[in-house]
Structure 1
Amino acid sequence: MDTSVVYADLNIPRTSRPKNTSSPALPRGSCAGTCRHQLLVRLGGAALVLLILGVIGFTVSVRFLTQKSSAEQSSVDVQENRTKPTEKPALLKCPEDWHIRQNKCLLFPQASGTWKESLDKCTSKESTLLLIRDREELTDIQNLENIKENLFWIGLSYTSEKVWKWTNNSIFNSDILQIIGVAEQGSCVAISLDKVFSEHCEADNKMICQRDSERV
């Protein structure tokens, strides 16, 4: 039997490859940059929160320490005040033959003279003619036993400026004393038991000298 071989060419069409439907791949390195940015933002936020908490904590600590220090200092001051001995009031003294009145030393010399002579007399004793500060002091001095029927020069005179002035150059305040008599140049002031007089400076009167008292 004669066998023959038959050859045939088969043209099988090529099937097209399935299209890849997945999204295109991201460029290399883009994810790393985004992730790094997000990480830095998170770290920055965390650092800011920590900084704010630290500032709050520091402020609270400083305030607490300040209040504590103030309280301790107050306690120390109280303790010192409790332990500090009570200071005695300073004693005042005057030279012999002088009379202490408040913080002044007063002298009533036996001699008499004009206002200028009386001022010089007081100056020689390191003092001046009496300077009266207020009505209370005037009344206090007028109640002294040394004030009797005489007139006593004080350190007040009428100047060329047409004003009453004390020997320390301060201007006379009429609310303190009411002077009886004329106000003219050549007039000086003397006091008695109950009055204040304008006298001619050349009149002969006694005097009251004053000086500061000394602490014992």
Structure 2
Amino acid sequence: MDRPVVYADLSLSRGRGPESSSPPSLPQDVCQGPPWHQLALKLGCAGIILLVLSVIGLSVLETPVPLQCSIHWSQLQDKCIFFSGSSNTWKDSLADCSQRESSLLLIQDLEELRHIHDLIKTEGILYWFGLNFTLSEKNWKWINGSFLDHDILQIFGENKENSCAAISKTKVFSSNCDSENKWICEKKLKPVRNKVCPNS
């Protein structure tokens, strides 16, 4: 016995085969996650940016800056020294150095003493530096409070009240502090950042 044949109409769109079908789109919130995930992500990004900026900042600070003395100052070992062009008493010379953000010269060792002698161009001119005789202690005392090491400096002249040390091209002399001599200031050698001059 023959079975009846049933016909059905299938409606297929062109180009919609299995190879070209795309997955259904997901709701927008699914990829974003809960609000605290978003906050953690933003904080993490901010932390990384701060870390990178810190590393860049430190590398800039670590860049070596050349050490040099200001104009009219000469470099001597780890300090800058200034030879005055005029003459004054020891106390006024001390005050002048202070105004220049420095102090009267302190001679640390024999090598520095030799360099100072070499830098003094003219024979017979005396320069004050930071050493004077204290009557109460009967000793030569540096302006930083330490006492003279006589192995470094030999002072020619009397050790008496109101005596201050002055250096020439060849020797160191005891001189009355109220007499007028030139003087030598010193300050520490510091990094000097290059300043951009206008119109340069």
What band does the TM-score fall into relative to the shorter chain?
0.5 to 0.7
Structure 2: tracts of 5 or more residues without a match:
1-61, 193-200
Given that residues 123 and 169 in structure 2 are in contact (C-alpha distance below 8 angstroms), is that contact kept between their aligned partners in structure 1? yes
Higher percent of residues as strand: 2
- Counterparts of 1:97-136 in structure 2, within 5 Å, are 97-136=72-111
Q: What CA distance in whole angstroms lies between the structure 2 residues aligned with 1:130 and 1:206?
A: 12
**AA partner of residue 116 (structure 2):** I
Contiguous gaps of at least 5 residues in structure 1 = 1-86
Write the letter of the residue equivalent to 1:130: L
The answer on whether the counterparts of 1:188 and 1:200 sit within 8 Å (CA) in structure 2 is: yes
The alpha-carbon deviation at position 193 of structure 1 amounts to 0.5
Is contact 2:128-2:181 (8 Å) kept?
yes
Q: Offset at 1:117?
A: 0.8
Higher relative contact order (CA 8 A, sep 6+): 2
Normalising by structure 2, we get a TM-score of: 0.61
Which residue number corresponds to residue 180 of structure 1?
A: 156
Distance 1:127 1:103 in 2: 14
Report the Cα offset of residue 90 of structure 1. Answer: 6.7
C-alpha displacement of 1:109: 1.6
Please tell me whether Structure 1 or Structure 2 has the larger radius of gyration of its CA atoms.
Answer: 1
Change (3 A) 1:118 1:150: same
1:193 equivalenced with 2:169 (yes/no): yes
SS of the residue aligned with 1:143?
A: helix
Render the CA deviation track for 1:161-209: whole Å, top value 9, x for unaligned: 2111001011111111000011112100000000000001111100000
Letter in 1 for 2:111: E
Q: d(CA) in 2 for partners of 1:108 and 1:176?
A: 21
Q: Percent identity?
A: 47
| C-alpha separation in 1, matches of 2:138 and 2:166 | 18
* Closer/same/farther in 2, CA of residues 129 and 146 from structure 1, 3 Å limit: farther
1:28 corresponds to: none
**Which aligned segments of 4 or more residues in structure 1 are displaced greater than 4 angstroms?**
87-90, 145-148
Greater fraction helix = 1
For the residues of structure 1 that align with 2:103 and 2:143, how far apart are their CA atoms?
Answer: 8
Q: Distance in 2 between matches of 1:134 and 1:205?
A: 23
Tell me the TM-score normalized by structure 1.
0.56
Q: Distance in 1 between matches of 2:149 and 2:86?
A: 29
Following superposition, the deviation at residue 149 of structure 1 comes to 3.0
The equivalent residue for 1:93 is: 68
Give the superposed CA RMSD.
1.9
Q: Which amino acid aligns with 2:159?
A: A
In the alignment, the residues of structure 1 paired with residue 124 and residue 64 of structure 2 have an alpha-carbon distance, to the nearest angstrom, of: 37
Can you list the C-alpha shifts for 1:126-171, whole angstroms capped at 9, x where unaligned? 1111100111111111111545431000100011321110010111
Q: Distance in 1 between matches of 2:71 and 2:183?
A: 18
Distance 1:88 1:134, change over 3 A: farther
- The one of 102, 123, 144 aligned to 2:119: 144
